[in-house]
Amino acid sequence: MRLLIACDDSGSIKELICNKNTNTSVQTAPQPFHLGAHLPEGFGSRVEIMKMIGPQHLLVARANGSIQLIELKRVDRDVSVKDPAKEPIFQVSEMHAASTISGLFDEARLLSIHKSSKKRSRPRDGFVALELVPQTSDRVFSATKSGLVHVLSIENGELKLISSNSVKAPLEFAQVYDLVAAQKTRQKKRASAKLTFAYGGEENLVKIAQFTSSYKTIEQIWEAKNVSNDRLDLKVPVWPMKLKFLEPASAAVDEGKVNYQFVTINRLGLFREYRTLTGRKPMLSKALLPKNEFATQLQVINSDVTPAGNIRSNSFENLQFVTSDLKKNVFSFNAASGSLGKYGNGDITGHASFLNIEKKYLLQGGLDRYVRVFDAESRAVICKCYTGSKISSVVLVDEEEIDVPQLNENKKRRPKHKDDKAEAEDDEKLWSTLESSAKKLKKS
């Protein structure tokens, strides 16, 4: 199993190579084969998002407002032991920043918005999205907290900025729609091929927008509406945190109508289901976390997902999700039945700042400096490794197991055991000696 881990303290990317059942907190458990740091640029330039775009290239968004294209190369590791035949054989990665684009933030715009925010600390701009544009291999979509939306190209191993636009800020997410094939089968309209994304944030209702074919301008095509006031006739806070698209409704609709389905998680732990054909308000709004607990993540675990994390299904029924709070809990839940359990069984001791589903695994990292890999559905721990730094992003490169050479049994030193007859004779001699000593003591 090979993982790439973004570490905040040094701003580096660490490569972890281990087998399943590795656990650095248990001395008798298998330990990692390799943990190496690459491209350290300091805390101010720490990595916020990582995306693999092929076996040899990695996209990285850093906290200094830059996006990097990193080349990876596998090399044989150095074996500096007396008997290399007894060491496991594997390759490690070398990383090189092939191209960088900087100046993608606008903190002044974020500061002006912060005046009406409930957050007390001074805002810092950051990336909220980094994805390949669907159905392309050389176009990159990115978005920032300040509402800047960039499209980049990859040409001959070099990043180039195609366009920069702005949407209403602040943003907590910008989710790319990559269910285009399903959209085309249900809606015969060319507009479905346009780059579509949803965004939202603090006091910023969910909106769906589209780029023009040349990525020069953005057009908003739909906006959600807040739920009705609460029982005290007070406004319900608007703060969507994450969104996942589903395939469009299967019913025949007019080509002119906006046909999208999606689910969101609210800052206050409210899970919501939307269908644009039925209206702007959610069809379902359900509290998942206890009162005053804040939710931060949303990942689906029991359905096939796209590269962007969207759901390859047009039904809301029986979907299972993962979310986390601002403490240390990572929950699994069903929208209909509620909580299904926790990941880690209390082992996680810090906020889970990163969660992602890759294949059948849940990747988790955060403030306690451990990277964990869980079986997504059973919640069993696959591996747990200490990295020495707060974790902001994790990528599963492969899940191959490494063969560990076994020592030759004939060469192992083993204590020589006496046979049963010899041991019995020794016991008799010992008892005879003890009895004679006892008789001498009585006579004296």
* pLDDT tens, residue by residue, 61-104: 999 999 999 999 999 988 766 666 778 889 999 999 999 999 99
Segment 321-338, tens digit of pLDDT? 999 999 999 999 988 878
Q: Which amino acid, residue 394?
A: V
Residue type, 242: K
CA distances to 130, 425, 434 from 437, rounded to whole Å, are 85, 19, 5
Give φ, ψ of 192 to 5 degrees.
-65, -20
**Tens-place pLDDT, residues 301-322:** 988 899 999 999 999 998 999 9
Separation between Cα atoms, residue 404 and residue 122, nearest integer Å: 50
User: Which residue in 211, 209, 236 sits closest to 223, CA to CA?
Assistant: 209
Least Cα distance to 131 among 121, 142, 122 occurs for: 142
Q: Tell me which residue of 173, 188, 152, 194 sits closest to 67, measured CA to CA.
A: 152
pLDDT band of residue 113 (cuts 50, 70, 90) is confident
- For residues 21 and 382, give the distance between their C-alpha atoms in angstroms, rounded to a whole number: 5
- Give yes or no for residue 192 having a pLDDT over 50: no
What is the per-residue pLDDT across 341-398, written as a single tens digit (0 to 9) for each?
A: 999 988 999 999 999 999 899 999 999 999 999 999 999 999 999 999 999 999 999 9
The per-residue pLDDT for 444 is 56
Residue 399: CB atoms within 10 Å: 16
| pLDDT at residue number 251 | 62
DSSP H/E element including 409: none
Whole-prediction pTM value?
A: 0.86
Instruction: Measure the CA–CA gap between 439 and 434, rounded to whole angstroms.
Output: 9
In sequence order, the 6+-apart residues with CB closer than 8 A to the CB of 164 are: 104, 148, 149, 150
